[in-house]
Amino acid sequence: MKAIPGTLQEGGAAFQTTHWTLILEAGKAEPSESHEQALAQFCESYWPPLYAFLRHRRYASADAQDLVQAFFVHLFENNILEHADRERGRLRTFLLSSLQNFLINEHERATTLKRGGNFRIFSLDDSLPGIEAAMPATAHLDDVSYYDLTWAANVVTRAWQNLTDTLNAEGKIHWLEELKPFVAGGADALPNQEEAAERMGVPVATLRTWISRLRRRYRDALRAEVATTVSDPEDVEEEMKYLHRLLIS
């Protein structure tokens, strides 16, 4: 089949490298705009599950927001990531254990909060309502399980956004929202393919080809996103399976 301008075809841009590498390089660099952007990108990628963990431990929302901000200040000021054993760890478990240690160390926590509580190194506004809305349905989970579930959902969100940005750059975004339910799934039943094809003005066979290609590219995007959180490529499949089990349980 020939490539049709504005539709979903093979190929695409490469995705990002590991966030371990990103933040370690940023930590070694002299303060600069790119340095600050790297730190902000890291924080914005990973604060939602940390905030969710704190809220599940019954910290008030304002206190949880301050603690997450202070934790990242602590993480960067003390070069915690640089000293981590990346050969044996995953970013998911490393960040949680680091936060737990931060909470235990009362003096360190109080000092960092006092020093950093009056500024924000990243914004929590975008994801905050969604996390708060999800809390009642997950009250039965323990703190760590809720953290892992929020981490999994956050990985999926980032993977889809990366794919959306890539397709947009390729000029293939036109029917993405129409095709998304066939790929991302969810609680609702899948749309009728014949009706969707009619709305899009294409044969059902063409629609099914686009769905298949989009699913493949979404899996690649998801795998690439998970790969940013592990240091060993051999851990990617195992981590993906674990996150998948969390989301379907």
In a domain, 13, yes or no: no
Q: Is 47 among the domain residues?
A: yes
| Token pair for 129 | 């309502």
Residue 133 within any structural domain of the chain: yes
**pLDDT averaged over the chain?**
80
Q: Which two tokens stand for residue 185?
A: 């799934």
pLDDT in tens, 196-227: 999 999 999 999 999 999 999 999 999 999 99
Assigned domain for 2 exists: no
Residue 3 maps to a domain:
no
Residue 9 lies in a domain: no
Evaluate if residue 1 carries a pLDDT over 80. Answer: no
Radius of gyration of the chain measured on its C-alpha atoms: 20
| Between 127 and 15, residue with greater pLDDT | 127
- Separation CA 160–CA 180 (nearest Å): 10
pLDDT at 13 over 50: no
- Tell me whether residue 5 is in a domain: no
**For residue 6, pLDDT beyond 70:** no
Q: Which two tokens stand for residue 6?
A: 């504005």
The parent domain of residue 110 ranges over: 19-248
Specify if 14 maps to a domain: no
Q: Is 79 left (phi over 0), alpha (psi -120 to 50) or beta?
A: left
pLDDT tens for each residue of 28-83: 556 666 667 777 788 888 999 999 999 999 999 989 998 998 898 888 877 776 66
Tell me the whole-structure pTM to 2 decimals: 0.80
Give the model confidence (pLDDT) of 77-97 as tens digits. Answer: 777 766 665 545 688 998 999
| Cα→Cα distances 51→43, 46, 61, 102, 217, Å | 11, 9, 8, 14, 30
Total tally of structural domains belonging to the chain: 1
